[in-house]
Every structure is written in C-alpha cells, then in structure tokens.
Structure 1
Amino acid sequence: MDFISDEQVARYRRFRPEVSVAELEQFFRLDAKALEALAGKRRPATKLGWAVQWGTVRMLGTFLAEDPLDVPGVVLAFVAEQLDIDPACATEYLTRPKTAYEHAWEIRDLLELSEFSKREQEVRDYLSARVWSTIEGPRALFDRAVVHMLREGILLPTGITTLTRLISEVRRTEHARLYRTLAERAGPELRARLADLLRVPADRRVSELERLRTAPTRASGRVMVAELHRVAEIGGLGAGAVRVEPVPAVKLSALARYGLVSKAPTLRDLEGDRQAATLLATVRHLETSSVDDALDVLDLLITSNLLARAERAGKAEQLRTFPKLRKAARTVASAVEVLMSAPEATEDRLVSLVEVWKAIEEVVPREKLVSAVETVAAFVPVTDDDAAAQWRAELVKRYRTVQGFIELLLEVIRFRAVEAGTAVLAMVRMAAAMAKGRRRYGPGDVAEHEALITGSWRPLVYRNPDVPEGQIDKAAFVLCAVMHLHGALRRRDVFAEGSERWSDPRARLLDGDAWQQARPRILTSLELEVEPAGHLAELAGALEGA
C-alpha cells in the first residue's frame, strides 16, 4: 500500500463526508427496475434500506455489511424524498440484520454484480493493457481499476491490499515483459555496442552516451558539420533498425527520458534486460533528436547567421551608397525641374527639343546628368523582387559556409517531399552535386530547375559579370537551392525521415501490421470494442438521456 495516497485509502469502499448533487443523481436516483423491485416491499423502513443499499453498491462498489445505513444524511434524505418516506424510520431497518443480507443478494442479482474473485482475471487483463499501453503510475492505475470494476459490475475486494498487490504484480510482470521484449529484439551484438556507450574513454571525462546526448548550443558552419557527424554516429549504432512495433511509443519515450537524465553509473547498475531496453530506447530517441538538433542548427544558421548578416551587409551597402544616390537624385531633380518649367507648345509657337536640352544644360551638363541617371538606375530596384537583390548578393558571398555541409546534409539525413516540395528536393540534390566538384555548369545543366530561379536570383545565377560567358554562378545556384529548402522545410513540403519537429505528421500514425499487433491491447486499455457502432450508440444514448 506504500504507493497509494491517504486520500485513496480513506475513500476506498467508504463515503466521503460530502456527497455532491451529481453523485446523488447518478447513483441514488431510482430507475424503473429499482422502483419495480421496491413495489413488493411493504414497510417504509424496508423500502428505504433497500434503496440505500441499491445506491451504495452502485457508488462504492460494495455493500456496507456492518451498518448498511452508515451513509451521509443527504443520501438518506434524497432517497426518502423519492419514496415519500420519513427518513427517521431508518433505524427500524436494522432490527433484523438478516434482512440487509437478503436485500444485498437480491440487489446483486438485479444489477448482475460479480464477486472480485470470480472476475479477477478480467481486472488483471485490463490492468495489464493499461500498464503496457500507458505510462500511468500505480496511483492512477488504482483509481482506474476501481472505476473499471464499478463500470463492469465487479464488487471491490474487501481488503484494499488485494487490489494494491494485484497492481504491483501486474506492473512488475508487464515491465519485465517490456524489458525482455526490447532486449531480445536488440540482440547480443547491439547490446554490447550499447553497453560500451556507458564506458568513459581514457582521454575524456564523460561517457560516450553523455557526449552523444549533448545538444548544440550555437549555430555555425562548423557546428552544423559536427552535428551531422553526430547524427551519422548515432545512426551507425543500428538501434533504429530494431523492430519494436509491439512496444507502444509512449513506453519507449518513458524509457528514453530515464536514459537521457540518468548518469552512466546509474545505468550500469540496472539489471541486464532493463539496461538493454533503456539504452535501446535512449539511442533510438537520440536518433530522432539529433536529426531535429541538426535541422534546428540549419534553421538558426540560415535565419540568424546567413540571412541576418547578408541583410545587415546589404543595408550597410545601401547606407554607404546613399550619399551618391542623394547627389544623383538632386542632379536629376534639377534637370526635371527645368523640363517641367519649359513653356508649353501652342499653335503660334513650337518648343523644340534642342531648346529644352539647352535650358537643361545651362543648369546640369549632359554628361553629369547621364552619370546621375545611371547611378539612380543602379541603386533603385525596378521591381519588388529586385529589392532583395542586395542581400541575396551578399548571401552568395557566404557560399563557403554552405558548401561545407550541403553534401553531408543529404548523405546523413533522409529527406522526403510531398508533391509541392519535389522540385525543391531535386534542386537541392543538384546543388549538393555541384558543390562537391570543380566542374563548370551552363544554363542547360540547370534548365529543369529554372522555374525556381526567380526574381533577383536570375541575374545572380545567369548574369554574373565575374563568371565566364555561357556559365552560371554555381555559388548563387547553391544558395538559391538552400533558401528554397529552408522555406520548404518550414512549410513541411519537404520533411526529414526519423525526425520529430521536422517530420511528416502523417508518418506517426500506426498502420498495417504495426497497428494490427497493437490494436487488441489498445482497445482493451481504452475499453472500446473493435466496431465503433455500439460505442457511438452508447454515447448518443447518454447524450439524449442527459
């Protein structure tokens, strides 16, 4: 009984000091069957005692053998009011003790109640399903078991220790089965590799497990490469290849949480099967979390490092060129002011272009005006897409950062895409192949990805003056692909297999054999039938009744 609370002990097979109106209505409101049974009772005290016992067993799951009327006053008053009886007559019910026992047997048959000893296996199966399918603790299981027995018409055992021992036994059995199942699935070779993770190398101060479960704290190109190597190292252990379908994901998560927070000496002291199961779940979780960490670093690297720095550099360039632009704009404005003040042509007088130009050149020389127009055209975007040209050009200058990890990114992380992200993924694969070699590429080589090279990316990719004629700017193409990948990952048009935060949510649904194996115990733990029609009808009836 160590695991249950004093409150649970106090309310087991007993009334609480206060009974709510909802409980009175649910358990002590006499239905048609109860009223029919009461019709054969003659004395008011007999009717009152029978009705109180009827509601008591429905609420507490037991009969009060020593004193059937040891109930709160509101219960007596509520039942007496329904029967139009004075509750003061209740004491007469106890003059013949055998009457209460006879009524208990009668009510047991009427409600089709069963002794716990006859249906103990049913309760055991229910608890086993709950332990296997959930991470509920023993206190929650105790309450679940009581509610289950009340719902299924099973009388609670007289001693509370009967139920607590059953819960403890079921938990030990199911946990042992869980550990044994995972340990057997892991196999001796993987178990040995996992146990080696608890070893502390001579040149280090922490175990290999501690090193692998340490997440990154900043974002940079080097950190990205290190994270991808970490993903590859964890995946190389082979824990992800173990088939664990019989074990619910919630149980694996609970084992993994324990493995992630426990020190290596604590894990070394665990019993063999439990140690293997805990390490297997922990490493499988690390496979997922390491992919998440790597993609988080990629997201932070692009948004905070590459994009933010490129935008800052672009703004700095704009500020640097602002005096030139202001001077050129002033020059153009002076010429336009002369043009606007020129007299309009009439029938009597024509205004020639020569005269206008002569007037303008008196204010601004033609060569100076041409230079000013060229300056304005260079610094002022023609379209909205061109507004990003400055920072995209700055972004291309950071090509080396991306070049260092883009090939490794695709080798280590398995990307998949929905229809909207297929073209993006193909472009990124092309970019990774381009980044690792020294080959020159022309427009024809990237023609299939032309639809994604839009806006200010087009001149950067196709018309870089520093690239020989007939070639594309490889760096610009690679950065364009990475930016598309970043956007597609955020929209989940592209997702990573084995990830949690960057995955396809539909992939988490059980299907096929995995669902068929898990289905029976899940349905048992949820107290649901295979076919939903009966459950839906029950809910509809309850709603209609309410």
Structure 2
Amino acid sequence: MSKLADFHVSVAACLTAQALNIGYAPVVKAGTPALERGRLSHVVQNYLSAETYTLANGPLIDEQGKIGFAQALGGGLVAAIDGMRFVVPVPSIYTRPNKKFFGRSRSVTWLNMINDRGVGLGEKVVTGTVRDSLHMIDVAFRRDGGPRPEVLVADTGSYSDVVFGLVHLLGMQYRPALADIPDQKGWRIQDAGYGSLSRFAREDRPGTDQATLERHPARRGVDLHRRDPRLRRMQMIQRDGNPAPLGEAIAHYGRIFKTFHILTYAVEEPYRRDIKGVRNLQESRHALAGKIFHGRKGEIYQRYYKGMEDQLGALGLVLNCVTLWNTFYMDRALDQLKAEGCPLPVPGRGSQGGPRTSGVIRARAVAAK
C-alpha cells in the first residue's frame, strides 16, 4: 500500500476532532487532500483506535521520563488512579445514572492512571460511577508504558479490604487518601491485645482470622489474575456481588496493610503530604482534560463502548503530548535560568526515596519568574 501524503496532518486533524470533542466539520477543508472528509474517515477507521493510542503513548512516556525536569518531579514509581466523569446524553446501555453529580443524566467514568511525573500511564472506560475499586487493578496492569509503579494512590471513596490485599500480593503498596481520620477503624488478629490501640481496633468488628488466611491459597488467585486479569479475577473474588471464599481470604489479608496505612497516615505528615501531592497532580490533569475536551459542553455522544474508549483514548494521547511539550520547555526554561546564574531550589526527598511531588510547585514557581 502506498504511503498517504501528509499522513501526519490527517492524524493531527482526527486527534483534534476527537480530543477537543468538536467533531470533524471544523477540521475538514475542501481542496486540501490531507483534510478531505474521505481521507479523515479513512484514517480514523484504519489507524486510530484505543489499541493504537496505547502503542503511541509508550514512546511519549519514555521520552518524558528522560527529561531532567520530569526526573526532578519524581522517580516515576508512584502512581495515582482516579476517575473523570462524562455525561452521555444519548441512549446507551453502557451508561448509568448519577444523581449526585448529574441529576437524571447518565454517565460513564474515564478511570486513568498517572505517575508522579504527571504523564498518563493507562486508562479504562467504566460504566457509570466507579464504586468497584477492583477496576483499579485492571488499569494498573494495562499501563501503556513506563516502569511498573511501586505505590498506588487513590481517592477516599475507592478502596476496599480486597484491593488492599490484592495490591500487596501483587508486589505494590496501596495508599488511598483518607477522610475523617478519627472515625477510621483498624483490625487486629483475633484474641490479640494491643494496649491503647485496642480501642482503635474495636472488638465489635470481626478480627483478621488467621485460619481463613491459611485455608485459602491467595497467591494462586494472584497468579490467575496475571494470566487473565479481567475475567478470572472477577469470578474468583466475587460472585453476584458477594465475596467468594478466595475474596474473603484476600480481604482478611488486606486488613493487615489497611491498618498499617491508617496508623501511618494519622501520625506521619510527610506520608500524608506525598499522597496529597500526587492526588493534586492528577486533579490538575483532569482540569486540563476538561479544558481540552470542551466541545458539546464536555459531553460524550458515543452510544457504544468502543466509540467511548476510542474518543477518550484520543484525549489521553493528546494530554500526554501536552505534558511532554510542557515538560520539555519547562526544562529548557530552567536551564536558561541556571545559565544566567539564578539559584534553583533542590526538590525535597519523599518517603519513597525519590524526589517529593511538592517539588513541582517550587520548580514551576522558579520557572515562572
């Protein structure tokens, strides 16, 4: 097949139409072969999809990680996972109502993961509002590139004992943000006493049962998850919305790390600050996504899951392009300031041994002067 002339122009036009949610009419230009409607339709149908966006994101993630400014922001081993909601005003079986945020309107959630350098690592479209935090495991294992995260950060409402257990069995640490610290409750091994902490692990709650942990080979469930992370994992851990025996065992295991997390979160300010920093970074990325995805009042008019996945995949790719562009020129600006003799602050060290996320604010403030 002969190479299409000005193929990059056609790809840029299609990405603009999808990521800005403006449709193809504004980018079609009669008389310009690369922008003819037929050419754009051909490019979308044959070259642009969620799968190709995943392949394109890999080099962007790698290039952004090589820039000095990105390395100053973090080590790339801390990741945050959160959802961004979109109203779908057209009838679709892949949407759910969300009275809290959209009244009677139905919506989908774009669950995405970024690292502490601000670049997107992976994503998934979830029907309705994310309440089943097991979707996080899918996103963590479907990343487009970059090193495998060692720490996963999430918001207050999207964690469970099962996720604590799964994440730690899979060799990562799980650090969700917590609200209402005085109301948080810990767990303890049955018949074990911990002095003043016994009130924290209230006796009217069931303890962590060692017999349950020993009876179910939770590690086997993790191995199956690695082979088929979406189907088998859901079938093994829960059935008809209720925990399966293996899910119960993983939940008991997860309560150990959940209790450690609550205690550390309550007493160590740097621990809380690091979680807050990467959460703020993701909120800023979502705000940028809202600015970019501005057409049609920010609503998705795709009726089918594949169309939603492709359009939001285009948004994720464009966001990574913007992140790479900004990181590159921020690094150039800092080099220029250094060449002019301006003293630059050194970002502090985080609890993971890498640069703390709060260094983003200091570096940006210096570059803006």
TM-score (norm 2): 0.27
Tell me: higher relative CO, structure 1 or 2? Use CA pairs within 8 A at least 6 residues apart: 2
Q: Higher Cα Rg: structure 1 or 2?
A: 1
Structure with bigger helix share is 1
Name whichever structure is richer in strand by fraction: 2
